[in-house]
Structure 1
């Protein structure tokens, strides 16, 4: 295997031509997205550069404290990002459910994946712990974001159908079942679709990175299969926790639909 090709500064700068092309296109089309594209590109660059230097230090000085602090920061940012990205007003109880679902679902799958599937030693090895945690938390964050939007929108837009079912004797669980199922389906579908095209339509980032760094394609494939199954489990668990607990926040103690604070 050949060594990885180092990218110099001028090569990195050359890659930003794609950002310029996109900005020109949206400008010509009259789509007001230039500012968002520029901000997201700059933010992505600064965040990754900062992360890179932090990881270099942590990899050189592995510590369970650093690993735990980074994990807490990832979870906190994910929960904050879900709430911030949701344009619909959320109740306090629903925000708590989001946090609980994210933390419980991702940590359960993360520790199982690290200790049973990969079997890392020591348990806080940042070389494995941090990248895998990032992939599981990031994908789960996307899944719950979709689930939140669909659940809240569904409960509000189908308010009268839910109330009608309640008046006919249905329990809150029965009345909200279709909305809950649709929210779960919408949240999990992107992960399933990415798995369908993987290996034929595109090579995923983790596998590509390992191959570029000189790892055997077979080893890279084994890791990619394992991590995709881990992501599927993490997204599914976090979303199912959210939708099964989240719909209850729309009902009061008398099993009446209550969405005035949503």
Structure 2
């Protein structure tokens, strides 16, 4: 199986910071067999800034016995800091320190160590790799939460954990505690950043931009630059396009991010999840789009 991943995250006080698994950054295309997960890992490479840290990541991955997870660790760096911060894995807080307390090497050493500890806990509890990646931000308590609820990561479990343990308050990312999903952000026409909130294509443009993928601004323009595929062939991280949802003067009027299992994340009102099998979305569905390689 090709090792592919869908890793989600973000920065600031923002609705999508709840999950490293939901920040649609298609980061790797390495062909190796993970044998441990059905997450899709694929698309473009991490940034040059992140790749510069690969030798040090490999060094500490070997020290802590997680050599096969180097690509995932690099993806975490891409999400946490883009490879440019001193505390490159944002791992200070896992030691109980204030944010950005560690040097780059200290950060990588601690981040890899922390990941290895989460991985070991997941193996004892019998939970999956998706839960480990999520726990890098949620904290180890999420592993026990998953273990008591079927041992397999789902978006619904992440959502319920965040609601139960975040106290309903926004917190800054990264933070190894539960972060509430969609912390009050609503659809804003023309919005294209956490500062302004988002409209549909602003959300997809911003999200892909965090992964180094430049999308044009409107839903129609994004449709025009993607490879068109039927929804049945879509993978998590692809785009989903719709027509005639309102009078926009163009054929494509709405876009969302496909999550798998006929679900998408999109800037509706409010921003959140949608079931693509519902009559409304079926009526307006055009199909999926994949970033051209």
Answer whether TM exceeds 0.5 for this pair.
no
TM-score tier (shorter): under 0.3
Larger Rg: 1
Q: Which of structures 1 and 2 has the larger relative contact order (alpha carbons within 8 angstroms, sep 6+)?
A: 1
Q: TM-score, length-normalised on structure 1?
A: 0.28
Higher helix share: 1
- Tell me the TM-score normalized by structure 2: 0.26
User: Which has more strand, going by share of residues?
Assistant: 2
